[in-house]
Amino acid sequence: MAYRVLVVDDSSAMRAFIRRVFDLSGLDVEKLYEASDGQDALALLDMEWVDVILTDINMPGMNGEEFIRRLSESGRAETTPIIVVSTDATAARRESLLQLGARGYLSKPFAPETLQSEIERVLGKIQ
Amino acid sequence: MIKIQAEPGLLGQTAREILETMFFMSPEDAAEPDPAPDDLLTAELKFEGALSGWFRIQLQESCARAIAGNFSGVMDPSELSAESVAGVLCELANMVCGATLSRLDPDAIFNLSSPQLGSQGCAGHGLTQWLSTDEGLIGLQLRWESQ
């Protein structure tokens, strides 16, 4: 199965790094969309469907927390798994966003293979 | 307000781990250069929450370019634009600051501003660390307001 992925991060360097991880991972990615904040991501999701969303927290404009809240309120978080990718490794933040609707949480720094395994986990390839 | 009990080596340890894991470099601790190199690129960001302050990272240009090349998967870093190098430098600043704060207080919540190139920082208590790589020096400063 080929996956459609959305990466939400205000850092173009980080988006490019994640894209490279996908390229090297062996995961079959049909399409990788990018957005620079939550508002851009919501606009994109109005037009496209994706299998998994990776989002940063601290972004100008709509931040990751508000983005996840909107997806939860619309019910989309139940059908499309969200993985938070952030430098914030505090327990309080992790717990808060998982309760809000995120399905996974990846703290930077992470090894490329960790990102791959987390995506496979939320997509159900690894139990 | 949290009580800060930062180990002196925390900043350098966190930065080394990040550089090894995501930038594929293995820096070592170094003494603060005197005088400072004149080709330093600087990025800064502010943070607030349980603790408020700012973080600054400085890299010699050759080091910044090598790090950007590793992060971007570019074999020849000289091909990278200045904008691309700056973007990676800002992302590195974000990672080191966020990860260090998370280790200072794992139970707190911090909000980080977007990193910017240039130096706007202010004084305060904090941590300073210099690292050495084959491509040049890296300076790190984390400062927070008095408790």
Using CA coordinates, name the residue in chain A closest to B86: A13
Mean pLDDT by 10 residues, chain B (147 residues): 67 95 94 92 93 94 96 92 95 95 86 87 80 96 82
Within a domain: B66: yes
CB contact under 8 A, B97 and A14: no
pLDDT of residue A127: 42
Within a domain: B67: yes
Structure tokens at B131: 């690292």
The Cβ of residue B129 has, within 10 Å, a number of other Cβ atoms equal to 23
Using CA coordinates, name the residue in chain B closest to A57: B111
Q: Does A78 score more than 60 pLDDT?
A: yes
pLDDT of residue B83: 94
Q: Which domains does chain A possess?
A: 3-121 (3.40.50.2300)
Q: Does A5 score more than 80 pLDDT?
A: yes
Distance of alpha carbon A56 from alpha carbon A33, whole angstroms: 14
Q: Does A38 score more than 90 pLDDT?
A: yes
Q: Which of residues 71-130 of B touch A (CB under 8 A)?
A: 71-73, 84, 87-88, 90-91, 94-95, 97-99, 101-103, 105-114
Number of domains comprising chain B: 1
CB contact under 8 A, B21 and A110: yes
Nearest to A13 among B17, B87, B112 (CB): B87
Q: Residue B119 sits in which domain range?
A: 10-144
Strand partners, A84: A55, A105
Predicted ipTM of the assembly? 0.83
